[in-house]
């Protein structure tokens, strides 16, 4: 799990060929998807929903600092991308539940370790600007 290595021998892992060919060219769809997923609020919403279905107002409170506009926009994008499912119940007061689709869970499974890593290393990185 650890890359045990001296600095000058850290391992170069060659990328899968199709990835190397596909991601680097400008204008490939993966860049768009990556942009949605890695947007400032996209990550947070995906992460929050990975814990299970949640309501609009729950998400609003959870992703501290998000505006209603950005919440709506982010959810719409993720829904269009087939990562989030929207379930609006015709009750009063309105109740809308958001959850991840299967594809969304696939993604969040990859996102969680990344965010965990960022969280664990954040202090070191921000402090140690050497």
Partner DNA sequence: ACGGGCACTAACTTTCATGTGAGTACCTTA
Partner DNA sequence: TAAGGTACTCACATGAAAGTTAGTGCCCGT
Site string for a copy of itself, 28-67 (x = CB under 8 A): xxxxxxxx-xx-x--xx--xx-xxxxx---x---xxxx--
Q: Give the number of residues in contact with a copy of itself, rule: CB under 8 A.
A: 84
> Where does this chain touch a copy of itself (CB under 8 A) — which range of 67-75, 88-96, 117-125?
117-125
On whether the CB atoms of residues 59 and 48 are closer than 8 A, the answer is yes
Q: Is 26 helix (H, G, I), strand (E, B) or coil?
A: coil
| Chain residues in the site for DNA (CB under 7 A) | 35, 39-41, 55-57, 65-70, 72-74, 76, 86, 88, 92-96
Instruction: Provide, rounded to whole angstroms, the least separation between the CB of residue 59 and a copy of itself.
Output: 10
- Residue 107 interacting entry, from a copy of itself, DNA, none, C-beta within 5 to 8 Å by type: a copy of itself
Distances (CA, A) of 68 to 41, 58, 96, 122, 127: 12, 12, 14, 27, 32
* Closest alpha carbon to 70 in 115, 50, 40: 40
Measured distance CA(96)–CA(90) in Å, rounded? 9
Instruction: Provide, rounded to whole angstroms, the least separation between the CB of residue 52 and a copy of itself.
Output: 3
- Residue 73 interacting entry, from a copy of itself, DNA, none, C-beta within 5 to 8 Å by type: DNA
* Closest alpha carbon to 47 in 61, 35, 36, 59: 59
């Amino acid at each position: 799990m650890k890359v045990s290595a001296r600095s000058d021998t850290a391992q170069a892992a060659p990328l899968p060929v199709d990835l190397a060919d596909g991601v680097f060219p400008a204008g490939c769809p993966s860049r768009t998807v990556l942009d949605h997923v890695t947007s400032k609020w996209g990550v947070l919403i995906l992460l929050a929903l990975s814990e299970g279905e949640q309501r609009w107002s729950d998400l609003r409170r959870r992703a501290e600092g998000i505006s209603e506009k950005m919440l709506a926009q982010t959810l719409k994008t993720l829904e269009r991308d087939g990562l989030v499912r929207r379930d609006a119940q015709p009750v009063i007061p309105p109740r809308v539940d958001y959850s991840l689709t299967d594809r969304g869970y696939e993604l969040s499974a990859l996102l969680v370790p990344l965010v965990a890593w960022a969280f664990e290393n954040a202090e070191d990185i921000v402090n140690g600007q050497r």
